Every structure is written in C-alpha cells, then in structure tokens.
Amino acid sequence: MKEKDILTEVSDYYSQKLAEHGQTAKGVDWNGVESQTIRFEQLCKVIQDPNFSITDLGCGYGALLEYLDDRYENVSYFGVDVSEAMIESAKERFKGRDKTEFCASSSPYRAVDYCVASGIFNVRLDRSEEEWSEYLLSTLDVLDRSSKIGFAFNCLTSYSDEPLKRQNLYYADPCWLFDICKRKYSRNVTLLHDYNLYEFTILVRKVV
C-alpha cells in the first residue's frame, strides 16, 4: 500500500465534494445535518471533562467545532485534514476564533487530550479491502499517539444490509476493531452500535 497515494485520492475526492456542495453536510459526503449531529454525539461520549483540547482528524470545514461550541465553554480545537481546500474553507469560516487551529496534513504534529475521526474510513474508492484495512489500522496509531486521554472514531458497519452496500465504501467488522483497540490501546474500550445508523463508534479511554 502506498499511503501517500491513498491520501491524495482522498484529498481529491473531498475537495471535489466541497466544490460541489460547499460548507454543508453533503460537502463532506454526509446525507444531512441530522445524521451528522448523531455521529458527533457518539464521538463526544469519549469526552469526560468540561475543559479540554481536541484534535478533529479529517475535520473538513469544521462542522464538529460548531457542535462543540454549542455544548462546551472552554475548548481548544485543532482541525487536521488532508484536503487543503477543506482547511482553507475552515480557516475562513472560523477566522479570528480563539483557541482554534487548522492544518493541512495527514497527521497532527502535537498531542492533545482527545482525538476524534468521523467518516474518514468510509470511502475507499477503488482500493481493495486489504489496502484500506491497512490504512485504517495505521490511522488508529495516529489517533492513539495524538491523544493523551482518549480517542474515538466511527466506521460503516459490516452488519449493514447486503443489498444496500456500495462497492466504493468500506464496511468494517466492529468486533474485529473492538478487539484490536482492547488489545493494543487500552483496557477501557466502548463499542457503540445502537444509534440507528448503518455504522458504529468506538471510544478508547486511556488509563491516565
């Protein structure tokens, strides 16, 4: 697997989505605001403190930041995305906001309290299952080393109805990923698979 090539493909894909749909849920390839909000609710269950720093890996135009602003008073936010177009859009959207940084990269350059990733494992394009699984696992290592207290991510579920599955999407086995996170990253791991979307969320809380 050439990860750089994968990241280039992903960047081009989401940059095109942004150009087509602008700063909307569809601009980051979600169906709508309602499902996007449900995903944010699941991911943020990893947060245990009112004051925290967080990295949003695959931040897009910064939709998670708006969600956090409505619910927390003291958040230090670091948005990271491989798409430079997304990062420029986010910088313009949140110009002048305190405790906020955006960076065009595949990996944060510093660790914070929490790191979350929403939707970045869904669109595998023409990559094989093996290639995409390898990319996913390497990205989990990024989430781990970029977080001090915990991290969270979501994936489309392999339990999705077969007739509804799309060839260009990646459907992960939640039990396989739960086992990996439990064995490799922390003994405190939660699998959320009960929120009526064809996906799941995993929370990894570190012992600190």
Residue 124: per-residue pLDDT = 87
Q: At residue 28, does pLDDT exceed 80?
A: no
For the domain 3-205, what is the CATH code?
3.40.50.150
The pTM for the full model equals: 0.88
Q: At residue 32, does pLDDT exceed 70?
A: no
CA distance 82 to 123: 14
> Which of 30-44, 75-89, 175-189 ranks highest by mean pLDDT?
175-189
Residue 25 in contact with residue 63, Cβ under 8 Å? yes
Beta bridge partners of 114: 54, 150
Region 163-189: mean pLDDT is 96
Q: Domain extents for the chain?
A: 3-205
Q: At residue 1, does pLDDT exceed 50?
A: no
Kindly report, residue by residue over 102-159, the tens digit of the pLDDT. 999 999 999 999 999 999 999 988 889 999 999 999 999 999 999 999 999 999 999 9
Residue 24: per-residue pLDDT = 56
- pLDDT band, residue 26 (cuts 50/70/90): low
Q: Which of 1-5, 17-21, 101-105, 142-146 is predicted with the least confidence, judged by mean pLDDT?
A: 1-5
Q: At residue 66, does pLDDT exceed 90?
A: yes
Region 176-199: mean pLDDT is 97
